[in-house]
Structure 1
Amino acid sequence: MSKGIIRLSYRKVIDADSQNVWEKYVFEATYQEYLIQSQNYNPDKKYFTFAELKHHVPNADKLHFLVSASVINYLKQLNGYVPDILNNQGKAFLPFKNYRFEVIDSDVRYKSRHRITVEFISEPITWIDTVGNLLLVTFKETVPAGDDGILTEMFTMQPFLSIHSLKQEEVYDTAI
């Protein structure tokens, strides 16, 4: 018996201090796109930060969407797996299809103040149990009919990773 179907969300913050190569590329691409797109909301160059634009300029919140286009190709490089979330064997395992992009803040004068987040929303996962500090889960596509049982993954919850949604239902008997 499972605990339910869950979807996880992982919020990845990227800023000037990010060390990973992929993160550095995303940082550069989003900052350049922000500089280009923010000009449309600030033709007189009266405002320097994203916070000022949101406060003074109607529809400046659209910059989240406009800047998000610059990350699409970088997200494809992840091959459908949430970055940084590894199973207990050290392998990326958590598939995603949906994400949310947000400009946390930025400043046209200081690149070092540019900060964005990408929130990855996982595919549905069957949460079987919690073993110590590990979650034991399986994916619908890994439920074979056979004597070997179901294929599972185990992982630790970590900062910025949370259960996004829970649907309680008995999916199948998981007597192991």
Structure 2
Amino acid sequence: MPDRIITLCYRKIIDASSTKPWDQLVFEDTYSEFRLQGQLFNPHQQYHTFGQLLQFAPGAEQLHFLVSAAVRGYLQQLNGVVPDILDNLGRHFLRFTKFQFELINSDLTDKRRHQVAVNFYSEPLVWHDTVGLYLLVSEQQQTTTEVLTSMFQLQPFLTIYSLQPAA
């Protein structure tokens, strides 16, 4: 297989059932921010859900962006490393360069219905081969003849986002 350059996307869904401390902080702060920002589009408090706001309140699609401010500080804590994704040695190896925040669902009166996603987009990787169920990848620019690699398995919510031939 000829080498190809890939970018991965990991979609991390966070909701009331999330148990990791980082996830819980993101959940709490995004819900608080949703309630605060939701007031802009719901001055008469006639809507309760995110879906109702999107359907009936002009401009409510801006809530994705407005609520994302609550996540930015938490993303800095990750130091550019995608959470949850481990190589076959159990190490975090995947670095991200950009992210996209998304409100999936929420309810101004019921925190348990709040659900968000953070999509992490990796730095470009060289995909050298597939070994069994594992992808063999390396960082794109290495200057030595020895190439340091990582092996990992695709899993739910992790996908190859883009693909291009290696130069």
- The offset of 1:16, in angstroms, is 0.2
Structure 1 runs (4+) greater than 4 angstroms displaced: none
Partner of 2:26: 26
After superposing the two structures, state which structure 1 stretch, 132-141 or 42-51, moved more: 132-141
- The offset of 1:140, in angstroms, is 2.1
1:164 and 2:154 aligned: no
Partner of 2:151: 154
Partner of 2:113: 113
Alignment partners' CA distance in 1, 2:63 and 2:25: 19
8 Å Cα contact 1:2/1:126 also seen in 2: no
Give the aligned residue type for 1:28.
E
Give the aligned residue type for 1:86.
L
Give the aligned residue type for 2:139.
F
Partner SS, residue 29 of structure 1: helix
Alignment partners' CA distance in 1, 2:78 and 2:111: 25
- The offset of 1:2, in angstroms, is 3.6
Give the aligned residue type for 1:129.
D
CA distances 1:82-131 after superposition (whole Å, capped 9, x unpaired): 11000111111100011010000110110000000000000100000000
8 Å Cα contact 1:5/1:124 also seen in 2: yes
Q: Which is higher, the Rg of structure 1 or of structure 2?
A: 1
Identity within the alignment, %: 50
Give the aligned residue type for 1:111.
K
- The offset of 1:6, in angstroms, is 0.2
Partner SS, residue 129 of structure 1: strand
Alignment partners' CA distance in 1, 2:40 and 2:33: 12
Partner of 2:144: 145
Partner of 2:63: 63
CA distances 1:128-148 after superposition (whole Å, capped 9, x unpaired): 00001110001024x2324xx
| Unmatched segments (≥5 aa) in structure 1 | 172-176
8 Å Cα contact 2:64/2:102 also seen in 1: yes
Q: Kindly report the root-mean-square deviation, in angstroms, between the aligned alpha carbons of the 2 structures.
A: 1.0
8 Å Cα contact 2:5/2:140 also seen in 1: no
- 1:1-176 alignment runs, 5 A limit: 2-141=2-141, 143-146=142-145, 149-169=146-166, 171=167
Paired residues in the alignment total: 167
Alignment partners' CA distance in 1, 2:162 and 2:115: 26
After TM superposition, the score normalised by the length of structure 2 is 0.97
- The offset of 1:58, in angstroms, is 1.1
- The offset of 1:79, in angstroms, is 1.1
Classify 1:152/1:14 alpha carbon distance in 2 versus 1 (closer, same or farther; 3 Å): same
Alignment partners' CA distance in 2, 1:159 and 1:145: 34
